[in-house]
A and B are shown apart, each in its own frame.
Chain A
Amino acid sequence: MELAAHESLPAVRKSRWQAFRIHMAHHKWLYLFLVPGFLYLFIFKYIPMAGIVIAFQDFSLVRGITGSQWVGFDNFDYLFQSRDFYKVLRNSIVLSVYQIVWGFPAPIVLALMLNEVRHMLFKRVSQTVLYLPHFISWVVLAGMVINFLSPSTGPVNAVIKSLGYEPIPFLLKPEYFRTILVSAEVWKGVGWGTIIYLAAMSSIDPTLYESARIDGAGRFRQIRHITLPGIAPTIVVLLILSVGNILDNGFEQVFLLYNPMTYDVADVFETFTYRIGLIDGRLSFAAAVGLFKAVVGFILIVAANRLARLFGKQIW
């Protein structure tokens, strides 16, 4: 018995090896196709991940990673003691919360409105217009905002001046920064955000509306009792995911609208890392900030995904 098993082992191994070779010969192209894409991911995504060791060094570009001195958690000790860090953390979260409070419901309301439009040409044209701001760069949008709010020539201040008041340099005032940024973000993203809800609405069974109409339900009641429950899972999943992204504010929008006078409320992780790292040249400290954000962000988004999947399963 034992002997037989012993004897058959190389044969099994050989045939497995053969099967593998046949498989590879058969599908060699499939594996070759993968090479460039994964080579890219390795070089441009995974190597920088290894590069986070910079956060544990007293790193200098000249000496490189191999030549720089290791300092353990010194950069993090410094980070958690610096007042700037807590300011940046607070700004980041506050801006995201504003963004969720105003920017999250807006596309839902707009999608509900678009969903009630029966005139197909009107619907298509208005969707085209509403998606448009999504395709405009932040540099253009920030330029528009700067022009619009300019104290010397902007239309908003023209109105203020015509009423006999002093012009207000809005972008220099910390108290206006969050409102301006979040308004610009909502303007840019509200139309684009409707796409996913409209997709969810299009999969609602139309006979539900028919029977509701026969029962005498008006449009508002149809929205409340059929459309909203129909997209509730999508709403919950997207809300969880946007909470998972709470540390992400985006570099460009903040960088292009803030200035030293509004740093106190405007500075977020992306801009802070850029300034201390690439402008001030404190690379290790900046890498430590980046690593903190990446790790906390990773935990949040993985937890959010788990939670979203849980909800997805329960409701669907």
Chain B
Amino acid sequence: MTSRVKRVKLELFDVVNYTLIVIACAIMLYPFVNVISVSFSSYAAYVENPLMIWPHDFDMSAYKEIMGHRVLWTSYRNTIIVTTVGVAVGILLYILTAYPLSKTVLKGRKILMVLVIFTMLFNGGLIPNFYLMRSLGLLDTYAALILPSLFSGFSLILMKSYFESIPEELEEAARIDGASDPYILFRIVVPLSKPIIATLCLFAAVGYWNNFFNGIVYIRSVDKWPLMLFLREIIEGASMKEIASGGNVAETGGEQVMKETLKYATLTIVMIPILLVYPFLQKYFVKGIMLGSVKG
């Protein structure tokens, strides 16, 4: 009798727990599903049913219009260039810098680590950074979008911790055979560090893809806009009008009608790459971040 009661109780706990987690997942997914559905619907269907989770009255006109926008393409190209270069150079820097710092034989290791950690605790702030970029003549260049976020102490420490966890014997054997440090690093250590490299690549790529700050501070000309500045222009362009009219509903002309679904189509186009790549890289970054957080 008691054992039966207990089993029912256990099951009830699981039922409630699983249900709550499913609800939490639904809350996380809903905005994405809604945005994508609206982007493929007609404006009339959207007004009638703004909470839709499936396209109504299938309509691609918002995509047709946004695809005709020249700045979408230039900003997409800019963001792809910045992301690719930033991730490639950044990862190379992390590998090169983290490797010596993971070696106890390195002289001055403690001081160097203090120098790294200090950059995580204190910074010059916006104005000196702006002045530096201006003095280097980098305002309104791709470099201004790449350099400020190229290299962070946090990621460096994650990679250093990972290198430290690799057994020394593996390198020792190669060293006895006369292998040089570059050979050991790139032929032995790097292949063994795929999880952390994948994690840092994902973090860096997402960081560059999503970055808005560098664009708004350092970029002037529309031709150099990253994707996020374009997206903001599309969203604010419509909502600024709303603010100007005091949130008045009545003054919605034909243009605003178009703008609404246009926003949803742009949102979809901007987040699609992340939504597509993310599930495949997910298994790496959990492993990578756990290794880092346990040690660091």
Contact = CB atoms under 8 A, between A and B. Distances in A.
Interface of A: 23, 27, 29-31, 33-34, 36-38, 40-41, 43-52, 54, 61, 64-65, 110, 113-114, 116-118, 122, 126-133, 135-140, 142-144, 146-148, 150-155, 158, 167, 169, 171-172, 187, 191, 195-196, 199, 203, 218-220, 251-252, 255-256, 259, 261, 270, 273-274, 277-278, 283, 286-287, 290-291, 293-294, 297-298, 301-302
Interface string B228-248: 100110010001001100111
Interface string B249-273: 1001000100010011001001100
22 contacts: A29-B182, A41-B115, A44-B148, A46-B119, A48-B124, A48-B132, A52-B125, A113-B17, A114-B21, A117-B21, A122-B21, A126-B21, A136-B210, A137-B270, A143-B235, A146-B235, A150-B239, A152-B242, A155-B50, A220-B13, A277-B130, A294-B124
| Interface pairs A-B: 10 shortest CB-CB | A51-B128, A290-B125, A48-B124, A37-B97, A137-B210, A169-B247, A29-B181, A155-B50, A48-B128, A30-B100
B176 interface: no
Main secondary structure of the interface of B (DSSP, over half): helix
Contact of A129 (B28, B112, B264): B28
B125 A291 contact: yes
A261 B243 CA distance: 10
Contact of A132 (B28, B119, B156, B256): B28
Interface in B21-65: 21-22, 24-25, 27-29, 31-32, 35, 46-47, 50-51
B116 interface: yes
B228 A137 contact: yes
Contact of B96 (A33, A167, A286): A33
Contacts of B112: 34, 38
Given A29-B181, A52-B128, A256 B232 contact: yes
Contacts of A29: 180-182
Given A30-B181, A117-B21, A274-B217, A153 B46 contact: yes
Contact of B125 (A132, A151, A252, A293): A293
A314 B93 CA distance: 37
A197 to B, nearest CB: 10
A150 B129 contact: no
A37 B27 contact: no
B127 A287 contact: yes
Given A30-B181, A191-B28, A199-B290, A54 B247 contact: no
Given A33-B96, A45-B123, A199-B290, 4 more contacts: A31-B106, A146-B235, A152-B252, A287-B128
Nearest to B43: A153
A196 B293 contact: yes
